[in-house]
């Protein structure tokens, strides 16, 4: 018989780095399997192979955890009514506490993440207090999910950690941010941007952005590091590559990827071969290629 597979809490207790997966809803919408606006997961039944393929891509990229494609899987949303007022994100810590209290009765490990900014939840409850409430309710893992970019989410998780430390509480930290740059966003997150949801491509983060994110998250004490909307398989591979030394291995997808552009040494053009080094990609500021593109937008909630 094979050895028993370790659970997520067992891994985190042992100090392991757990790499999460990326975003499903946006990826499957772009591939023609999800309707924007409804964002419902009927593709899991209508086109299960499409969902399996995305799971495979995240696994090959290095994800330890694969989440079920069940976003908006509730009776009211599955009616395809077009109603988007009852958003299922946890933006109020009080709601998340209720969920944790109910889930605790299952006896299973509970990870609770909030869609909040460094300013706190929609009731202005600070991140540190949010974390304390979740842990006191029974959460084993707490953190941030979606709505804002990686570096903003790291700031929020740091505030959560500070709150837990001050209260003398312990919990593992988890982060699953957006795969887009959203520096001008606040409480409303990226859904308030004029580019949401069909023109976010110019805000997409590079693989090098993701390596920086992975390192900063790790240095902040976060050990469950993944992504949400906008995170593609190559982003997850970047996380896995950045933390390969800590994990002890590279993901299968790295077989086709030279670290820090190393494979460019085989290119026919000398100026491209010169880019086969870490310093080049770490210091590059990518251009948008759009001459009249503004550097910032005005969120609709401001």
At 171-214, the pLDDT tens digits run 999 999 999 999 999 888 999 999 999 999 999 999 999 999 99
Q: State how far the Cα of 2 lies from the Cα of 192, in Å rounded to an integer.
A: 49
Mean pLDDT of all residues belonging to the chain: 93
> Is residue 294 situated within a structural domain?
no
Q: What is the CATH number of the domain that holds 216?
A: 3.20.20.330
> Is residue 292 situated within a structural domain?
no
Strand order in the sheet with 111-114: 18-19, 224-225, 172-176, 141-145, 111-114
Q: Which pLDDT does position 20 carry in this prediction?
A: 98
* Torsion angle, alpha carbons of 21, 25, 29, 33, to 10: 90
Give the domain range for residue 38. Answer: 8-260
- Does the pLDDT of residue 85 top 50, yes or no? no
pTM for this entry: 0.92
Q: Which pLDDT does position 76 carry in this prediction?
A: 56
At 26-60, the pLDDT tens digits run 999 999 999 999 899 999 999 999 999 999 999 99
Instruction: Please tell me whether 229 is known to bind a ligand.
Output: yes
Q: Residue 72 — pLDDT band, cuts 50, 70, 90?
A: confident
What value does the mean pLDDT take over residues 72-84? 57
Buried b (16+ CB within 10 A) or exposed e, 240-266: bbbbbeebeebbebbeebeebbeebee
* Torsion angle, alpha carbons of 40, 43, 46, 51, to 10: -160
> Is residue 195 situated within a structural domain?
yes
What value does the mean pLDDT take over residues 258-270? 96
Instruction: Please tell me whether 73 is known to bind a ligand.
Output: no
> Is residue 286 situated within a structural domain?
no
Structurally, how many domains does the chain consist of?
1
Instruction: Please tell me whether 146 is known to bind a ligand.
Output: yes
Burial tier of 88 (Cβ tally within 10 Å: 0-12, 13-18, 19+) = middle
> Is residue 274 situated within a structural domain?
no
- Does the pLDDT of residue 103 top 50, yes or no? yes
Q: Which pLDDT does position 89 carry in this prediction?
A: 55
> Is residue 235 situated within a structural domain?
yes
Q: Which pLDDT does position 90 carry in this prediction?
A: 62
Residue 230 tokens read as 């906008």
Q: Residue 101 — pLDDT band, cuts 50, 70, 90?
A: very high
> Is residue 209 situated within a structural domain?
yes
> Is residue 280 situated within a structural domain?
no
């Amino acid at each position: 018989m094979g050895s028993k597979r370790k659970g997520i809490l067992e891994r985190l207790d042992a100090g392991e780095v757990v790499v999460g997966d990326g975003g499903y809803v946006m990826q499957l919408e772009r591939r023609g399997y999800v309707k924007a606006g409804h964002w419902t997961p009927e593709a899991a039944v209508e086109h299960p192979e499409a969902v399996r393929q995305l799971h495979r891509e995240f696994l090959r990229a290095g994800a330890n955890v694969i989440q079920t494609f069940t976003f908006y899987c509730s009776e009211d949303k599955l009616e395809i009514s077009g109603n988007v007022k009852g958003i299922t994100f946890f933006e109020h810590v009080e709601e998340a506490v209720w969920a944790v209290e109910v889930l605790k009765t299952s006896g299973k490990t509970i990870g609770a993440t909030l869609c909040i900014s460094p300013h706190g939840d929609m009731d202005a409850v600070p991140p540190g207090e949010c974390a304390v409430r979740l842990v006191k309710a029974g959460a084993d893992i707490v953190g941030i999910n979606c709505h804002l970019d990686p570096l903003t989410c790291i700031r929020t998780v740091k505030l959560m950690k500070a709150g837990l430390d001050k209260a003398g509480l312990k919990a593992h930290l988890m982060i699953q941010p957006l795969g887009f740059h959203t520096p001008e966003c606040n409480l409303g997150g990226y859904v308030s941007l004029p580019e949401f949801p069909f023109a976010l491509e110019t805000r997409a983060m590079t693989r090098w952005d993701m390596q920086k994110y992975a390192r900063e998250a790790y240095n902040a004490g976060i050990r469950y590091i993944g992504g949400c909307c906008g995170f593609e398989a190559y982003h997850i591979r970047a996380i896995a590559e950045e933390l390969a030394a800590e994990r002890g291995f590279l993901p299968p997808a790295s077989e086709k990827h030279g670290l820090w552009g190393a494979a460019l040494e085989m290119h026919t053009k000398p100026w491209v071969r010169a880019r086969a080094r870490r310093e080049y990609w770490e210091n590059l500021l990518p251009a948008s290629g759009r001459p009249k593109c503004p550097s910032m937008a005005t969120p609709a909630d401001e």
